[in-house]
Chain A
Amino acid sequence: MAQVPEGGGDGGGKGKKRAKKGNTHIDMTPMVDLAFLLLTFFILTTTMYKPSSLQMTYPVPPDPNDPAPPPTQLSNAITLLLTKNDQIFYYMGEFRAEATEKGPPTTLERTDFSKVQKLLVENNKQTIAQLNDLARQYNEKKIDEDQYNEKRKAIKGDKNNLKAIIKTDEEAKYRNMIDMVDEMDISGIGSYGVLDKLKPEEQALLDAEKAKL
């Protein structure tokens, strides 16, 4: 393709011989071939490998000598029980094995990963509205980044917001737990915990529900 004329120097034979005028044309075809071969190879073999990471902070196990911390307010909590086949069971508020003055005994509701986001968002509307409002202010440059992060933290950490307790049974997969933690981020739930032990009463209820599947 790229013919480079050779020896264009002195065509006529007369006169004294001059040193050839430097005709520095080199046939670059093989070099270009090679360059493009390598280029193609690298472009085709490169896969964008992009792992990312999720920063997790687990609570430090309490010292047995320390006094027990005050019980957490659970009336605004949702407890999500993850189990086999990507199933989720949940209940709101505190666990009540029997009817008390606060309400009837706890029953489990069933959901799955396609519906849980809607559930969480609906229960956490107010916080999400606040977060969206804050994001809008930030986008309109009414507040700077530090203020934004600070306020965002304050909104998410509000004690009266929806809390979540994620519990996994023996058959839940690691993927389920990561997905659930992801959902927490999406639905603006700032305080959540992950546990891998169920209370015996919860386990009994869960087993009964699983048997119905």
Chain B
Amino acid sequence: MPKSTTHWALTLVALGSLQASAIEIEEGKLSLNGFAAWAYGASDNNDFHIAQHSGHFDSGEFGLALTDRLSDRAVVAAQLRFAAEDGGLFLDWAFGEWRFSDPIRLRIGVIKHPFGIFGEVANIGTLRPFFLFPSGAYGLTDVSGSGVQGASIGGTLPSAGGWEMSYDLYCGALELRVQDVLDKVVDPAALKPGGTLPIETEKTKYIAGMRLVIATPVEGLEARLSGYGSPIRQTEPERLVVGPSLQYTGERFSARAEYFFAYEANYHRAHTAYLEAAYFLTPHFQVGGRAEIYRLIFLQKPVDSPLFEHREIAATFNYWFDPNLVAKLSFHAVDGNRFAQPILIDDAILNGTLKRRTLATILGMQFSF
């Protein structure tokens, strides 16, 4: 085991043994919160996220969120995250907020992308049943962004009859972390021995987007509609991403479903959807299942490839030591290579040895405080 991984594991065990609670200073005006995750992943074939054919230990990450209420109406907040595998320190968000009123709050800075159910909290494992988030919506695709650099207005409208609505309107530049598989299929001349599928950071400038969240009178049931588009200035290709989300969170049972449609003019469109449910058999032991589908379509000519497809069925078995500390064991059966490929993907395509199916196992721990 590499030294850095040992340190991660020891740190997680040590932190996990602590009482999980935020650090409050000045009567709650300043708050420090954190989260972390580490997992071992293995697969029988292709690499699927942290599950690699040879086994993979180096997936730890740790983040700290700091919020300071400067005055009754002014708030500043920032979140830093260190990801061992990605080899760096990331500024997830850093913004200043002015609260005109409950329905109108203005933010300027780097804002976490208000998108779907998990867009803003994709790194917080204690908020979901599976160690991995759904790949199509929150993975390395051009659907959900890692952050919006710009401004947003959002707030909560007064509730009526058990209904409650909150909203976000935002504009600026959107950062996306993507793995672009299209070139591997539509431009075979670019394939070369030893070629891989790198993770790239794309920035789409001049986007505008919104998210509506409607809480229903049924306790725990809420619906969302998210979307964004570009350009609001003619310097970028036309893009549109939109989709609904539905979530129920009860004491023992939770379920969520989301669908998103993504479109880039003259290039591609994609559909992705998933359905997941989880149930606490005891106060500590939770089981869950998920089915997910993703389909990419190249718009310039009809092309079919397993690199454009992802179908997955997964099961998870979780033990919650505390609501802020959970161990998760999940199994994933994947068909398609959109998110599951060998490292040397060019070789597999050139040699005709690309395998569609992957079985992956992930054992990990996640916590927050």
Determine if chain A interacts with chain B: no
> Residues of A at under 8 Å CB distance from B?
none
